[in-house]
Amino acid sequence: MSGAAVLLNARPPAHIAIIMDGNGRWATRRGLPRTAGHKKGVEAVRRVLEAARELGVSYLTLFSFSSENWSRPEGEVSELMHLLRFYLRGEIATLHKNGVRLRIIGDRSRLAPDIVTLIRNAETLTANNTGLTLVMALSYGSRQEIANAARHLAEEVKAGRMTADQVTVESLGASLYTQDIPDPDLVIRTSGEKRISNFLLWQMAYAELVFVETLWPDFGRQELDDAIQEFHRRDRRYGATVGTR
């Protein structure tokens, strides 16, 4: 069997995380408003989610809206929130039918009350599903997440519920939004940018990073397959010396 065939038949990474970048540029290149790119990006989410399910991926995390995105023009933020409402209302029944569990990570305090209610209802409806887990990072910033976790542990120490010696890598990790989600194996960023933009800084410590030129609205099954094949070509050593695991 050829090396290419082996890669094609290899098991996919258990957890893939994607920084979905390029919606605005996709629209600009076509003389369209940025909001058109965001709408097209929702179609890419559907394609990639279906592909991930078919491939047997267990966790798919999508960087949907960062804490920094709140500083974008009011009209664009409003449209993004409208699309979020549309997705939460229109797609959840399909996710549930397909056995997908939805998880939302991020600062919900900045989201509108009706969106928080939609999130809560969607998570409750899909909580017992055993297929792929779709994690959407909304109003999310990794530095803030880590700071919140550190603050929580400091308060626990101050209250006498734990000692300073019990503040460990494990206890901090257990205080993050992703406490019951495995760390990503593969992180993909679209659009040709080579940054991680305050996304899963703690969790991606040993993830393989793949940067692709494709703008997010054009990303699909083939691009996902290519990224997974690149992942399988990597020698993951987790900080160990060459030749060890």
- Marked catalytic residue, from 9, 21, 165, 218: 21
Query: Distance between CA atoms of 97 and 174, rounded to whole angstroms?
Result: 31
Query: Distance between CA atoms of 167 and 175, rounded to whole angstroms?
Result: 11
Q: Is 54 annotated as a binding residue?
A: no
Q: Is 23 annotated as a binding residue?
A: yes
Q: Is 208 annotated as a binding residue?
A: yes
Cross-sheet strand order for the sheet of 101-105: 101-105, 133-140, 59-66, 15-19, 186-189, 208-211
Closest by Cα among 142, 135, 146 to 198: 142
Residue given tokens 């069997």 in the structure block: 1
Q: Is 25 annotated as a binding residue?
A: yes
Please, are residues 231 and 185 in contact by the beta-carbon 8 Å criterion?
A: yes
Q: Is 143 annotated as a binding residue?
A: no
235 in active site? no
- Marked catalytic residue, from 69, 98, 129, 198: 69
Please, are residues 37 and 217 in contact by the beta-carbon 8 Å criterion?
A: yes
Query: Distance between CA atoms of 197 and 25, rounded to whole angstroms?
Result: 17
Q: Is 191 annotated as a binding residue?
A: no
Q: Is 131 annotated as a binding residue?
A: no
Please, are residues 57 and 14 in contact by the beta-carbon 8 Å criterion?
A: yes
Q: Is 38 annotated as a binding residue?
A: yes
21 in active site? yes
Q: Is 216 annotated as a binding residue?
A: no
Q: Is 197 annotated as a binding residue?
A: yes
Residue numbers in the known binding site for substrate are 22-26, 34, 38, 66-68, 70, 72, 189, 195-197
What residues form the annotated binding site for Mg(2+)?
Answer: 21, 208
Binding site: residue ranges? Answer: 21-26, 34, 38, 66-68, 70, 72, 189, 195-197, 208
Catalytic positions:
21, 69
